Chain A
Amino acid sequence: MMLLGALILLAPLVHASVLTLQSPRFTITSTNASQARAEPISLVKKASPPLSLGPTDTLKITFQVIEKDSGNGVQPHQTFLRFFDEVSQEEGIQPLRVNSAGKAKFELNMAKPPLSLPPTSKDPLKVTLIIGSHLHSPLKVELFDLHVPASHPPPQHPDEASFHPLPVIQHTFRPDQKLPPTTISAAFSALVLAPWVVLLGLWAKISPRVPRLFSPSIVPFVATLTAFEVLLFWYWIELKLGQVLLYGAILAIPTVFAGKQALVSIGQQRLRQK
């Protein structure tokens, strides 16, 4: 834009005569007459506060294009009203009809908006008047900002969304399983262990004697039985079924012999005691 600005200054001025607007005015007429407003348009300063149209209001703009030096009315080649939404970048161009005396009139009836009005949102439309001519210097005037009722959004291509970042999706996980308080579990575990007290108490009363506890014929059998229990516990923690069957089969062989030896030795002892 800066380059073009410099260009405008530096380019040889072939169009000698300069155009200007005479008595530019806007009028807002409203059916309920609450927002009615009529003011002259300044060429250097935008109207303040911004104009605002209701759904049934009508905006009327009138002006005359004249040559600045002679004051004669001129019909320029291009007289466009540009509506531009700076946020959505939507743009609408409305050519205005200027008669040969340079007089122009434009009516924007919001009950029947023209096709040139772009899709609008709650952001204001910047309204610019563009006047271009083969014979005169071009003229561009920022008239005012205009609030109009929001329209439907412009239609989008179904694939358009995939050309922009899509909303992030987070998976909603099932909540973790709820466990009862550990004190309750501990209390019930203690309950399960309670029969041991009875058992140990009764045993203490009869105090069984175990003279052959470390006898070489008994110890191997007790050891292999213990190994079986450890194997099953190990299975619970990490072993697979195949491994358990394999280890169990291997363990079974010494167990059979150790068991036979232990039972035979008990039998012999009982015979001896008879």
Chain B
Amino acid sequence: MILPLVPFLLLSFAAILHAKSSTGDSVLVVLEPSLDQNFSVFFDGLRARGYDLTFRAPKALTPAIIKDDVPSFSHVILFAPETKSFAQDISPQSLVQLLSLRTNLLIALSQKQTPLSSLAAEFSLVLPPPGTPVISHFPERDTPASIFPVDVSASNPILSSTKAPVWYSGISHSLGNNPLLVPILRAPVESFATDSSDDSGAPSIADAAEKGGEGLWAGGNMGLVTGFQATNGARITWVGGVSVFSDEFANKEVIKGKPSGNAAFSQDVAAWTFQETLVLRIDETTHHKVNETTPLSQYTTNDVVTYTAHISGWDSGKATWLPYSGLKDIQLEFTMLDPHVRTALPPVKGSPGTYSTTFRVPDRHGVFKFVIDYKRKGLTALQSSTTVPVVPPRHDGYPRFLSAAWPYYVGAISTSIGFILFSTIWLGGDVREMKKGKTSKTE
């Protein structure tokens, strides 16, 4: 009886141990039936990391991606690069609505004009005209010019586990200057987009460039895979060619005996898109006067105040939030309309996840805010604002004895002493004798 249960138990343990996204593990895959590629390496990798995949054709009616304004899945993969008409519930508008409901999207494009390629323009991606794939003659190799390996930048934190070059085939896009864009994979320097497939097409390339404007999609500033992080934290990734995720490219060797980086790359891209990696949050912020521990409801001008923030990062391996001390350039602002103080908020040594700074409150009274507004490409935006009034000192909050006022203090105190002395002498003195003395003097 127990034996058949064991594998099931192990499996459920494995599911707990495996990576999961910080926002949920249900994934809808909208897969074009006419795609002649298999993505089993990619999808099996997702399942092994704990995702629950549901498949659907672009024109199928169920399962709906959004129902009664509630998204049905945590993440949506749209591998339908050539589909021109989708079922009614998949439209550019509904995809934008999904994003605003914090659903993450992974969208593949192709050289065909589809509703998705017009949506890409709304995310500051400028796509080349239809039918112009990106090609590269470098390096010299035995594959067609439209299939080329791309070096992965080692400094990109999104692609931390991708070590080998990635095979790519598809389109490139130029990036607008929107800071919410997160370039994941840049085009090689030598690559360019063209619709000519042999050397006799050379003049048309020069012609295209001379037309001006966005005439030529060429060079290392073009993007191949580009992410976009909405201000609410939802992530959307645009991929110029669905074959990056294919089994064929995952198993294709770049150098003899060494597999390509596609398998690791596609998992890295999915991990970032599905908010597994580079996800942060502020757990708690506190403030108090230096050398005290309890927060005050208001501060006095010129108080020295300590501000502390506790920041956690999502650990997909343990599927939990862990204190994170890796942010080096976080800043704290003390703001009344404009920031009056902006100072670094460095991590505290020996106390993971704690960032703290001490500063002197400005000598301006009013309603101030402690503001953290930390935005960096690829990282979750961290925002926190705590309102605290700053008041001038109370009437008894000033120093009591100023050296400039010594004569006044001395005058007041000597008057008091004089009063007591006179009272004592008058009460304790002998009236008659004094009278006698006086009269004797006058005599």
Contact = CB atoms under 8 A, between A and B. Distances in A.
Interface string A5-29: 0111011111100000000000000
Interface string A130-154: 1011110110100000000000001
B427 A140 contact: no
Interface of B: 136-142, 145, 149, 151, 164-165, 177-179, 189-190, 192, 196-203, 205-206, 208-209, 212-213, 216, 218-221, 254-256, 302, 329, 331, 333, 339-344, 360, 362-363, 373, 375-377, 396, 400, 402-407, 409-411, 413-414, 416-420, 423-425, 427-434, 437
A229 interface: yes
A107 interface: no
B424 A233 contact: no
B165 A3 contact: yes
Contact of A134 (B145, B149, B219): B145
A79 B204 CA distance: 12
A142 to B, nearest CB: 12
Contacts of B141: 7, 11, 14
Given A166-B342, A189-B410, A4 B139 contact: yes
Contacts of B139: 4, 7-8, 11, 138
B420 A226 contact: yes
Given A11-B142, A156-B177, A77 B201 contact: yes
B331 A166 contact: yes
B407 A185 contact: yes
Interface string A197-231: 00100000010111111110010011001100100
A196 B414 contact: yes
Contact of B403 (A3, A182, A229): A182
Given A7-B165, A168-B343, A206-B437, 17 more contacts: A10-B256, A84-B189, A97-B206, A98-B202, A132-B136, A132-B190, A134-B199, A137-B140, A169-B333, A169-B341, A171-B362, A182-B406, A192-B407, A192-B414, A211-B429, A229-B420, A270-B432
Contacts of A32: none
Nearest to B137: A132
A93 B192 contact: yes
Nearest to B217: A93
A94 B420 contact: no
A97 B407 contact: no
Interface string A98-119: 1000000000000000011000
Contacts of A130: 138, 189-190
B340 A93 contact: no
A180 interface: yes
Interface of A: 1, 3-4, 6-8, 10-15, 75-80, 82, 84, 89, 91-98, 115-116, 130, 132-135, 137-138, 140, 154-157, 159-160, 162-163, 165-171, 173-174, 179-180, 182, 185-186, 188-189, 191-193, 196, 199, 206, 208-215, 218, 221-222, 225-226, 229, 232-233, 236-238, 240, 262, 266, 270, 273
A185 B406 contact: yes
A45 to B, nearest CB: 21
A229 B420 CA distance: 9
A212 B407 contact: no
Contacts of B213: 115
The 5 residue pairs across chains A and B that have the minimum distance between CB atoms: A132-B137, A213-B428, A169-B342, A210-B428, A171-B362
Nearest to A226: B420
Given A3-B254, A116-B209, A209-B433, A222 B427 contact: yes
B423 A225 contact: yes
Contacts of B220: 91
B341 to A, nearest CB: 5
